[in-house]
């Protein structure tokens, strides 16, 4: 583990990234951003990894971008550095990523969770985009991804008042896939990731790519894209294996090809 602000573990075919700046409630400083991106890219390029979990601590997934680090930056600095653009590289990852969120997921923390493919939340999770209280607005996709996840009404409410919402409301609103007792969070997230990692990796990548396409295109184009990708699954050994296993009433053995 060559990282300072995260822990990187492997559980079988699942890579687990744990945000680890407890003194700052996992605030996302530039080193943490660089390390998370490097860790995700490393896991993404490893064919032995079929899914990734990103998690934080019991108290905080992440309490936002690091305010102390940002505080005195000038417009010219944040603009020329294109502050936070590195986070875009997470959306280029093709391996499925599960966010396991307990405690605070605020500002950049909520945005990091939304950069993952889906969120499993502990009943203690609190989501919000409180940037407005600091005199800024979301800068890692929050105004866009939150709106797509929960719709205009709640996105406006959260971004304009800066209030937080709990796990139940987040699940009801469509931000979160599942809510589980805090004590079970990591186990449930690992189980979901292990299930994903037991599938054919290229097929899981295709499923992720197809769902993501729905955010980028019209319904007709998205359905056509899906059908072409569906057709291409028939070029894989794993399609033959998956269907043969069903017919023969046995578990499939996917080879990732
Ligand atoms: C830097 C942070 C931090 C942050 C917490 N800390 N959040 N440091 N950046 N985002 C630090 C505190 O300064 C404190 O350090 C330590 O973590 C513990 O936090 P406390 O505030 O003492 O804990 P608590 O009273 O339990 O309150 C928890 C909290 C609060 C409600 C989450 O910390 C909070 O409101 N944090 C800021 C949340 C926020 O506004 N996030 C959005 C950031 S802007 P010390 O050294 O005092 O012990 C953002 C923008 C993204 O994400 C893109 C647009 C710019």
Q: How far is the CA of 169 from the centre of ligand 1 (A)?
A: 22
pLDDT of residue 236: 98
* Active site (annotated) includes residue 58: no
> 3-class DSSP state for residue 18?
strand
Q: How far are the Cα atoms of 26, 92, 158, 215, 235 from residue 81, in angstroms, in the given order?
A: 22, 20, 28, 27, 43
Q: How far is the CA of 128 from the centre of ligand 1 (A)?
A: 12
- Buried b / exposed e over 89-110, threshold 16 CB at 10 Å, is bbeebebbbbbbbbbbbbbbbb
> 3-class DSSP state for residue 151?
coil
For the complex shown, is ipTM > 0.90? yes
Q: What is the mean pLDDT of each run of 10 residues along the chain (257 residues)?
A: 94 98 98 98 97 98 98 98 97 98 98 98 98 98 98 98 98 98 98 98 98 97 98 98 98 96
Q: How far is the CA of 66 from the centre of ligand 1 (A)?
A: 8
Ligand 1 pocket, Cβ-based, cut-off 6 angstroms: 24-25, 27, 63-68, 104, 106-108, 130-131, 134, 136, 138-140
* Active site (annotated) includes residue 111: yes
The structure's pTM equals: 0.97
Q: How far is the CA of 60 from the centre of ligand 1 (A)?
A: 10
Q: Which of 20, 30, 67 to mutate to test the pocket of ligand 1 (most atoms within 8 A of CB)?
A: 67
């Amino acid at each position: 583990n060559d990282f300072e602000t995260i822990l990187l573990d492997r559980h079988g075919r699942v890579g687990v990234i744990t945000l680890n700046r407890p003194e700052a409630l996992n605030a996302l400083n530039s080193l943490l951003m660089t390390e998370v991106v490097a860790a995700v890219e490393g896991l993404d390029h490893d064919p032995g990894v079929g899914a990734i979990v990103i998690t934080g601590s019991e108290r905080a997934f992440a309490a936002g971008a690091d305010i102390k680090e940002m505080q005195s930056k000038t417009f010219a600095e944040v603009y020329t550095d294109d502050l936070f653009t590195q986070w875009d590289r997470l959306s280029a990852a093709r391996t499925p990523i599960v966010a396991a969120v307990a405690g605070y997921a605020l500002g950049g923390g909520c945005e990091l969770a939304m950069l993952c493919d889906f969120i499993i939340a502990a009943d203690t999770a609190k989501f919000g985009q409180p940037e407005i209280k600091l005199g800024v607005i979301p800068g890692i996709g929050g105004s866009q991804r939150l709106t797509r996840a929960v719709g205009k009404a709640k996105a406006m409410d959260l971004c304009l008042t800066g209030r937080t919402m709990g796990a139940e409301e987040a699940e009801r609103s469509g931000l979160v896939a599942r809510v589980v007792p805090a004590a079970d969070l990591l186990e449930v997230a690992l189980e979901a990731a292990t299930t994903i990692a037991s599938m054919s990796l290229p097929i899981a990548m295709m499923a992720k790519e197809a769902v993501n396409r729905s955010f980028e295109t019209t319904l007709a184009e998205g359905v056509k894209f899906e059908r072409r990708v569906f057709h291409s699954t028939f070029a894989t050994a794993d399609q033959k294996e998956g269907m043969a296993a069903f017919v023969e009433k046995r578990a499939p053995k996917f080879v990732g090809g």
